[in-house]
Structure 1
Amino acid sequence: MGRFYTVRKQDGHWNFSDDTGKPFYSLGVNCFSYGPDVPLQANPERQYGGDGNWYGNWAERKLDEVWSIGFNTLGAWHSPYFMNKSIPKTIEIRCSRQAKKVNKGWGGFPDVFDPSFAASIHAEMVDVYYQKGMNVAEDRSLVGVFLDNELRWFGTGGQWGFTDPGPGKNDTNLAEDYILLPGDAAGKRAWVDYLRERYSTIEKLNETWQAEYGGFDELAYRTEYRTAEDVYEQDKLGFVRLIAETYFRTTTSILRMYDRNHLILGCRELGSSVPDFVLEAMKDYVDVISVNFYSMTLPYSWLERVHETTGKPIMVTEFCFGVAGEAGFRTVTNGAQRAEVPNQRRRGECYRDFVTEATAKPYIVGMHWFAMYDFYDSNGLTGNYGLYDGQDRLWEEFAEAVRITHRGALLGKTGETAFRTWRTGAATGTEGGGRHE
């Protein structure tokens, strides 16, 4: 019947261990789906048959093509069609989706002290584990689950990190967002309770802060404080640690009510923007650290510190390189702007360099490409993100470079000399794919 995926370290090198016990290096594709979020220009019934099963035909053909260039995992946001297929896959649960937020915009961070946070986690768990029509908790082809995606740990005043911020990076922007909450908000009350526990009496706080407050309750209705700045900064750092501990303790304890079998793959951090205190809190709750980077190279000095701090292996769960004009895009949005190249040949070279260098690191256990298809102003995304274009054609020159790269990566990481087939999981010598005219 097989076993569940694990991670293990052997001779100084980390790898996943698959459902047969063999080493597994996860090479994934995000958004493996053909649906309304990818408004393609192709005619699927003409391409895949008008017998009412065009989607199944599409799925099998695409799995054949994508696996033939060395990918072996369905990344986040794949089609529900694949959930009952015995194919290596990952799931993003989005624990914070329905919770009250302390900051706005992409990656809005939840108020982890508000009851809506736990309620949101349960709602998302019910959706994943009870409303998909399959027993996800017992799926041995599921590598693991992500708790969230690109949370704004760095707060309203911070930025997405692309480079090494240096050791001891512990900004307190997230604490500032909590402090700006209304006085009756759960997160603001948690801040005041934290200060009460830290200082015991208002007299001690006043002495340390060089302030003259009448009681702790007053602090709930202030968004700025009279305080000694160096002490205040340490207080905020401690609160960020409490936020992180609460986030990971709450998410993982609830997850384990529904699923005691699968790896917890972190929450797909926004590059190097996550504070060190968060990493220190995370290590006791997750099995793998997941990070998303849209850059020409990875900040390895930072990644090595992450590994040393947490003692956990790392996955790069989003990266891409994209072409603008030659691929038919005047506008490129979001992460692809930082990884723009002139043509598909150069795109393939960048993929080779990026993946080859990452695979050589003993603590990296997977690389997930974003995405399956190019985006045409879908969910705010535009650009040559895909393995395929809007006519459902493989970017052939790029794909050939991917295939060659994967052959070397898997040989070096797991000793595999041939790509696996999605149909059986066994190695196959089949190589090739669709064609981009």
Structure 2
Amino acid sequence: MGYFRIGQKDGRYLFFDGDNRPFYSLGVNCVWNPILDTPGTRSVDLVRKYGGTDRWHARWAEEKLRQTASWGFNTLGAWHEKHYWGNGIPKTVEIRCSRYAKKVNHEWGVGFPDVFDPSFAASIHKAMLECFYEKGEALLKDEGLIGYYTDNELHWWGTGGKWGSNDPGEGYNDTHLVDDYIDLPADAPGKQAWVAFVRQRYDTIEELNRAWDAEYAHFDDLLYIGVYRADRDVLEELKRAFLGEIAQTYFETTTKILRMYDPNRLHLGCRMVGTGTPKIVLEVMKRYVDVISVNFYSFDLPLKWMADVHRLTNKPFMVTEFSFCAGRSAGFLYNTNGARKVIVKDQKRRAEAYKNFVELAAGLPYVVGTHWFALYDYSNRSGLIGNYGLLNADDETYEEFAAEVAVTNGRLLERIIGGGGMPEPREWEKDD
């Protein structure tokens, strides 16, 4: 069995499948059963609609696959149903390596892991086992599996930073994440790693005091302090270097453990969000990932930033989330998260925005795909709310939007790789 790889053809980056056919990824995120995600928000009975308790879920899944293919998509993006594992359809999988690790902050309810804590490696192993246990056997044998994301939207800019849309501003050198490590208690591995890092830079506490213009009695004093008396420029240089250590530990650990479970598939990164990831992190990241994956909620793309990052990393980009949401006209007076930045007036305008965005992305020779968020609208009062979907909460298609998306996707694939949507799914059977 062959595996997807990254290559170039006629001056542009592309995926190439196991048979060496060029592939440009147009995906949909969250092709999953929405019943439990948005309880009490739909009037349609999906169990009854798709044939009763015995077979309804399989029929639902087959119909959603047919629909996404009819709209010109050729990839199941992150967070799709495990029902599809083993069927040969191109797909990407997010493992969420940091899910169970101790955190240095709790931004957006996700938080950034203390990568120096033993719980970090344990979290990665637990997430891997959850992914590859039982149905994961089919995933490992799936010829359509493109690769894995190790996390989603890690906040490399820290609590005090900004994720950025089209202009990173100071984000190129943002060290607020290091401030989060410095704020940890003295017994936290992340705080101890920081102080050990500082000690490596100075032979004695007197040397540190001269460099910092400080008066500390012992290096261990730094364990119990969250705000330092120190020359700003000297401290910032140290913080930037330590941010590199954080990134090195994150990518080295996640990559090593991922390769224990699957050494063959592409490493699709940690799904950055916006332009806020500092340059030092990108310099480390390039040594481990095959693709720079990033989520954008904007009407265009940060072209200068993307060009700079591509020159720095020599890696292709994939836009792993984007969306445009009608507000009032789709019944959403209240919207959360990314939807707030991309509200449009109606479904026709959604289609126009979709076309403009994916064509802009496809015009960049280092972009290998765009993944739409998401299959369904969200109306969960404890989570997302907004007209993200190709389908509403009652499993009804936004026909005007979806029809134009299908036209756009078809033309785009024809232009880039000469056509080609989703292949026919195959049934997976265990070996005897």
- Calculate the TM-score normalised by the size of structure 1: 0.93
Offset, 1:422: 3.5
Partner of residue 235, structure 1: 238
Cα deviation 1:135-166 (Å, max 9, x = unaligned): 43332211100000001111010122101225
> 1:9 and 1:199, CA in 2 relative to 1: closer, same or farther beyond 3 A?
farther
Cα distance in 2 for residues equivalent to 1:348 and 1:281: 37
Segment of structure 1 superposing worse, 202-211 or 241-250: 202-211
Partner of residue 87, structure 2: 85
SS class of match (2:120): helix
Residues 102 and 181 of structure 1 are in contact (CA less than 8 Å); yes or no, is this contact kept in structure 2?
Answer: yes
Cα deviation 1:3-25 (Å, max 9, x = unaligned): 11111123321000113210111
Segment of structure 1 superposing worse, 6-15 or 23-32: 6-15
Offset, 1:58: 1.4
Partner of residue 30, structure 2: 31
- Calculate the TM-score normalised by the size of structure 2: 0.94
Cα distance in 2 for residues equivalent to 1:411 and 1:167: 40
Cα distance in 2 for residues equivalent to 1:404 and 1:295: 22
Residues 37 and 379 of structure 1 are in contact (CA less than 8 Å); yes or no, is this contact kept in structure 2?
Answer: no
SS class of match (2:107): coil
> 1:165 and 1:374, CA in 2 relative to 1: closer, same or farther beyond 3 A?
same
Question: Match of 1:88, as an amino acid?
Answer: P
SS class of match (1:297): coil
Partner of residue 252, structure 2: 249
Segment of structure 1 superposing worse, 257-266 or 38-47: 38-47
Cα distance in 2 for residues equivalent to 1:419 and 1:86: 13
Partner of residue 432, structure 1: none
Cα distance in 1 for residues equivalent to 2:88 and 2:152: 25
Question: Match of 1:124, as an amino acid?
Answer: A
> 1:267 and 1:383, CA in 2 relative to 1: closer, same or farther beyond 3 A?
same
Residues 157 and 171 of structure 2 are in contact (CA less than 8 Å); yes or no, is this contact kept in structure 1?
Answer: no
Question: Match of 2:27, as an amino acid?
Answer: G
| 2:374 corresponds to which of 371, 375, 391 | 371
Partner of residue 120, structure 2: 117
User: Superposed, which structure 2 residues align to 1:33-52 within 5 Å?
Assistant: 33-35=32-34, 36-39=36-39, 40-50=42-52, 52=54
Residues 89 and 422 of structure 2 are in contact (CA less than 8 Å); yes or no, is this contact kept in structure 1?
Answer: no
Partner of residue 164, structure 1: 167
> 1:50 and 1:136, CA in 2 relative to 1: closer, same or farther beyond 3 A?
closer
User: Superposed, which structure 2 residues align to 1:6-17 within 5 Å?
Assistant: 6-17=5-16
Partner of residue 428, structure 1: none
SS class of match (2:135): coil
Offset, 1:313: 0.6
Cα distance in 2 for residues equivalent to 1:391 and 1:227: 58
> 1:167 and 1:376, CA in 2 relative to 1: closer, same or farther beyond 3 A?
closer
Partner of residue 434, structure 1: none
RMSD: 1.7
Question: Match of 2:29, as an amino acid?
Answer: N
Residues 86 and 141 of structure 2 are in contact (CA less than 8 Å); yes or no, is this contact kept in structure 1?
Answer: no
SS class of match (2:172): coil
Cα deviation 1:353-407 (Å, max 9, x = unaligned): 0001111100000100000101112651111100001221111100111111112
Identity of aligned residues (%): 52
Question: Match of 1:255, as an amino acid?
Answer: L
Question: Match of 2:89, as an amino acid?
Answer: I
Partner of residue 299, structure 1: 302
Residues 150 and 254 of structure 2 are in contact (CA less than 8 Å); yes or no, is this contact kept in structure 1?
Answer: yes
Cα distance in 2 for residues equivalent to 1:199 and 1:401: 62
Cα distance in 2 for residues equivalent to 1:45 and 1:102: 42
| 1:151 corresponds to which of 138, 151, 154 | 154
Residues 87 and 425 of structure 2 are in contact (CA less than 8 Å); yes or no, is this contact kept in structure 1?
Answer: no
> 1:41 and 1:143, CA in 2 relative to 1: closer, same or farther beyond 3 A?
farther
Cα distance in 1 for residues equivalent to 2:378 and 2:125: 32
Offset, 1:415: 2.0
> 1:19 and 1:308, CA in 2 relative to 1: closer, same or farther beyond 3 A?
same
Segment of structure 1 superposing worse, 405-414 or 117-126: 405-414
Residues 290 and 315 of structure 2 are in contact (CA less than 8 Å); yes or no, is this contact kept in structure 1?
Answer: yes
Cα distance in 2 for residues equivalent to 1:298 and 1:5: 26
SS class of match (1:62): helix
Cα distance in 2 for residues equivalent to 1:349 and 1:259: 40
Cα distance in 1 for residues equivalent to 2:44 and 2:18: 37
Cα deviation 1:30-52 (Å, max 9, x = unaligned): 11012411444321233222262
Structure 2: which 5+ runs fail to align?
427-432
Cα distance in 1 for residues equivalent to 2:157 and 2:390: 31
